[in-house]
């Protein structure tokens, strides 16, 4: 009886488990890192913030796109 295919499957499963554990550990370390910056952060340069809700709006907008209140200036 040839055990080579069974050993290959077990080895692949072991590698998969180790890779999964490494990924989970990396995610746990990233979650506890306070200095981490969101990869989804966007720039609000050239925009004005609504004093009521804090949403960034175009400079030319008269009302906030988030809450609908009138924007200053």
**This prediction's pTM:** 0.40
Q: Evaluate whether residue 28 is within a structural domain.
A: yes
Q: Evaluate whether residue 69 is within a structural domain.
A: no
Tens of pLDDT, residue by residue over 2-46, are 889 999 999 999 999 999 999 988 877 666 554 555 566 667 678
Q: Smallest Cα–Cα separation from 66: which of 58, 41, 53?
A: 53
DSSP annotation of 67: T
The owner of tokens 């907008």 is 61
Domain encompassing residue 26:
4-58
For the chain, the domain total comes to: 1
The confidence score (pLDDT) of residue 27 equals: 78
Q: Evaluate whether residue 37 is within a structural domain.
A: yes
The confidence score (pLDDT) of residue 7 equals: 94
The confidence score (pLDDT) of residue 26 equals: 84
Q: What's the token pair of residue 27? A: 């995610």
Q: Evaluate whether residue 70 is within a structural domain.
A: no
The confidence score (pLDDT) of residue 29 equals: 67
């Amino acid at each position: 009886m040839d055990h080579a295919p069974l050993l290959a499957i077990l080895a692949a499963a072991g590698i998969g488990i180790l890779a999964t554990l490494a990924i989970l550990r990396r995610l746990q370390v990233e979650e506890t890192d306070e200095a981490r910056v969101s990869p989804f952060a966007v720039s609000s340069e050239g925009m004005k913030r609504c004093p009521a809700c804090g949403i960034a709006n175009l400079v030319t907008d008269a009302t906030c796109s988030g809450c609908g209140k009138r924007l200053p200036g």
